[in-house]
Structure 1
Amino acid sequence: MLKNIKAVIFDMDGTLIDSMWLWKTIDMEYLKRFGLTLPEDLQDEIEGMSFSETAAYFKKRFNLLDSVETIKDEWNKMAWSYYIEKVTMKEDAHQFLSHLKHHGYKTGIGTSNSKELVTLVMNKFKIDHFFHSIRTSCEVAKGKPSPDIYLQVAKDLMVLPEECLVFEDVPMGIMAAKNAGMKVCAIYDDFSKNITDEKIRLADYYVNGYTDVMELIRNEA
């Protein structure tokens, strides 16, 4: 898995941390403020979008008067307590990050989440020292499945795309990394368990968790 790889890049939500489940709840609560119900297709429609793109989508689709920045601020406030009190790291993710650091791999994060919540996660789990680059999709032209975010992280790390292995949990993210010319390992997440077959088809590797990754590494040694 790590042969000829110089850098490992991670999505955050659903990949390093168990958090994807909370966003549907936040979407429902947010729309309820305006007397709206959650459309069945909403989660599929916004998959991969940056935080800013998602806010712009909500504003247009639901004819909201609030600015994109106001919508983003509200989502950050609504998500804050969830991330502090209920979000956990994926099992053995810390062990894998320690392994990468010990063996000299460059590491980065390319996430669709907000900078504020990314900073909260880094501080809560004390993992910011593992990463040489932390980028959000709001910092590039287009969100996933565009390759922009992963190409930017690779540029930060000063490595070629083909020297990168990306960990992702949803199809749009997997496609973003593949569109960037990178290897991709899809990881199990409860939120996307109903599309596991699609994730396996799109990715180069598939694992149930970082325990599997550590086992693969030991077997390859």
Structure 2
Amino acid sequence: MKAAIFDLDGTLIDSMWLWKELANKYLLSIGITPPEDLRESLKELSLLEACNYMKDRFKIQKTAKKINSEMEDILSNYYAKEFQLKPYVLDTLRKLKEKNIRMCLATATEDRLVLLALDRLEIRDYFEFIQTCNNTGLGKWQKEFFQLAIDRLQIDPEDIWVFEDALHCIISAKKCGLNVVGIYDDSAIEDMDSIKELVDIYIKDFSQLEVESL
């Protein structure tokens, strides 16, 4: 192992519970009853992609950027003050740094929100770069998203491990020949069997990770 690519939400921080309800909360706030299939329709989309989808589907008379801004207002307080690291994350980051493993962050969350959490939790300096859907123009369901991270690291995929909780991201990472550690999160419980079939290692939390074996 020479490098690690970390997801943020559901992997490093316990935040997916809010993301699962965010679109519903927003639609209710503007007087629209969210349909039952909304969560499934949005689960592979970045926030801005989700805003475009909701604008078109529900004929919202605002720009996607305005919707995005209003949803970010709901999120900002949680990233700046509430979300916490998942168990044993800091210990793992420290161990990897001690082994001189290069680390980066690859997330669908908007850059500003990412930095709010990383700075408060004091883990920003562990990451060589932060790659987001917004700053790349790519979705995490696209293998090109992970290929870009590989290109930036300039390391062979077989020497890189991805840490991820979401099935669609795991699929795109594996398409690039990357090793994957699947992380349990309540938000992905319906996909657990499929995730376990795809990943190289599956863990309930980072206490189960043997860094020396990677």
Short-chain TM bin: over 0.9
Aligned alpha-carbon RMSD (Å):
1.7
Q: Does 1:91 align with 2:91?
A: no
1:88 is paired with a residue whose SS is: coil
Q: Does 1:185 align with 2:171?
A: no
Do the aligned partners of 2:107 and 2:140 also contact (CA within 8 Å) in 1?
Answer: no
Aligned amino acid, residue 199 of structure 1 = I
Aligned amino acid, residue 35 of structure 2 = P
How far is the alpha carbon of 1:84 from its aligned partner?
A: 3.0
How far is the alpha carbon of 1:56 from its aligned partner?
A: 1.3
- Counterpart of 2:73? 77
Aligned amino acid, residue 64 of structure 1 = I
- Counterpart of 1:37? 33
Identical aligned residues as a percent: 32
Aligned amino acid, residue 166 of structure 2 = V
Do the aligned partners of 1:133 and 1:153 also contact (CA within 8 Å) in 2?
Answer: no
Aligned amino acid, residue 183 of structure 2 = I
How far is the alpha carbon of 1:130 from its aligned partner?
A: 0.3
Q: Does 1:210 align with 2:196?
A: no
Name structure 1 gaps, 5 residues minimum: none
Q: Structure 2: how far apart are the matches of 1:143 and 1:40?
A: 24
How far is the alpha carbon of 1:44 from its aligned partner?
A: 2.0
Do the aligned partners of 2:20 and 2:187 also contact (CA within 8 Å) in 1?
Answer: no
Q: What is the aligned length?
A: 214
How far is the alpha carbon of 1:197 from its aligned partner?
A: 1.1
Q: Structure 1: how far apart are the matches of 2:111 and 2:78?
A: 16
How far is the alpha carbon of 1:134 from its aligned partner?
A: 0.5
Aligned amino acid, residue 196 of structure 1 = M
How far is the alpha carbon of 1:108 from its aligned partner?
A: 0.7
Q: Does 1:166 align with 2:137?
A: no
Q: 2:7 aligns with which of 4, 7, 11?
A: 11
Q: 2:99 aligns with which of 85, 91, 103?
A: 103
Do the aligned partners of 1:50 and 1:113 also contact (CA within 8 Å) in 2?
Answer: yes
Aligned amino acid, residue 200 of structure 1 = K
- Counterpart of 1:114? 110
Q: Return the TM-score normalized by structure 1.
A: 0.90
Q: Structure 2: how far apart are the matches of 1:45 and 1:179?
A: 23
How far is the alpha carbon of 1:71 from its aligned partner?
A: 1.4
Do the aligned partners of 2:141 and 2:172 also contact (CA within 8 Å) in 1?
Answer: yes
How far is the alpha carbon of 1:26 from its aligned partner?
A: 2.2
Higher mean C-alpha displacement, 12-21 vs 56-65: 56-65
User: What does the per-residue CA deviation read over 1:86-108, in whole Å, with 9 as the maximum and x for residues that have no partner?
Assistant: 31101110111111111111111
1:145 is paired with a residue whose SS is: coil
